[in-house]
Amino acid sequence: MESSLIEELKSKAVVIRFNPFSSEDELIKILSGCDIIVNRKSKLTGKIIRFLPHLKMIARTGAGVDETRIDLHAAKNRNILITYNPGMNSKAVAELTVMHALVLFRKFKTVSEKIKEKKWNEAQSQIGFELNGKKWGIIGFGSVGRNVARITSGFGCHIHVYDPLVEPEQISGLGYSPMEINELLASSDVVSIHVPLMPSTYHLIGKGQLSLMKRTSIIINTSRGGIIDESALYEFLDSGKIYGAGLDCLENEPMKNDEPLASLNNVIITPHYGGTTYESYRNGADGALTEVLRFIEGLQPLHKFLY
């Protein structure tokens, strides 16, 4: 879905469309005269930023800003304005999070494979779990976490929340249970992660944390790769110490052909596409182009990244 603001932008600037998956050298050539880049999927490396002498602004259509898309050190050295769109894809990511839980608990991966193999009886014999009555632990109570809480409450889940930046009274006021992270991990049937990747959250979930979880529990990460220690996760999943994992992001992307986690039957991996819906793309484009138009008009950004 194209943003309704694109025609207004065309009346005020020369607009160039480019393939976000172009090579580094191709991007430098295509973008060489640009003052502003509207970006979602391209990796704007330090080399690209250094070779774009006119670049003044990067408007992210995505919800956050991190090193997976922009070399922040290079951008900071150039004093480039970066804007972003908090919450633009939170409903989409929340829905994907719940989908991962349903697929894992109902053994959809195994059932689908058995059907393709024409093994109807084996597929029908797969027994799963319901979400109703389960304890769902949410790590990170921002826009995505709150949408997950809203959706899973409708399934009859009991919601546990860990977020050191949110007052416990605010969480309990919404009818949820605030908890410290270790208590949440030990008591929850489902744990979903919704925090940004930063030094304090890198490998937030490691061997010690996974050891607290129930054998019948699942863990889901639809935020950023690197928050879970994947070698530890593989060990716990392969040995059956936890029931399953749903991952929409990996520490190294794109996924390698020999990724160990992909070989496990109790793992669901999707290609970091939680926000890949027509609705969230439209929201992101509208938000980014609003910031660009404000910049052109000399107005302050609504959501400025602080280096």
Total count of domains within the chain: 2
For residues 84 and 205, state if they share a domain: no
Same domain, 64 and 166: no
**119 vs 137: CA distance, rounded Å:** 35
What's the first-to-final CA gap in the chain, in angstroms? 31
The pLDDT tens digits for 139-195 are: 999 999 999 999 999 999 999 999 999 999 999 999 999 999 999 999 999 999 999
Are residues 54 and 119 located together in one domain of the fold? Answer: no
Query: 153 with 182, same domain?
Result: yes
Q: What is the pLDDT of residues 218-236, one digit of tens each?
A: 999 999 999 999 999 999 9
| Residue range(s) defining the domain that contains residue 193 | 90-269
Catalogue the active-site residues: 224, 253, 272
pTM: 0.86
Say yes or no: 114 and 253 in one domain.
Answer: yes
DSSP assigned state of 301: P
Instruction: Clarify whether residues 77 and 110 are in a common domain.
Output: no
My answer on whether 264 and 222 are in the same domain is yes
Q: Is residue 161 part of a domain?
A: yes
Q: Which residue has the tokens 């940004």?
A: 196
Domain containing 132 — which CATH number? 3.40.50.720
13 and 149 fall within a common domain = no
Please name the residues in contact with 240: beta carbons below 8 A apart, sequence gap of 6 or more.
215
| 59, 116: one domain | no
Answer whether residue 59 is part of any domain: yes
Within a domain: 303: no
Tell me, yes or no, whether 108 and 237 share the same domain.
yes
Please report how many Cα atoms fall inside a 13 Å half-sphere around the Cα of residue 202, on the Cβ side. Answer: 4
At 68-114, the pLDDT tens digits run 789 999 999 999 999 999 999 999 999 999 999 999 999 999 999 99
Are residues 61 and 180 both part of a single domain? no
- Give domain status of residue 36, yes or no: yes
Q: How far from chain centre, in Å, is Cα 156? A: 24
Cα–Cα nearest to 218, from 198, 238, 183, 192: 192
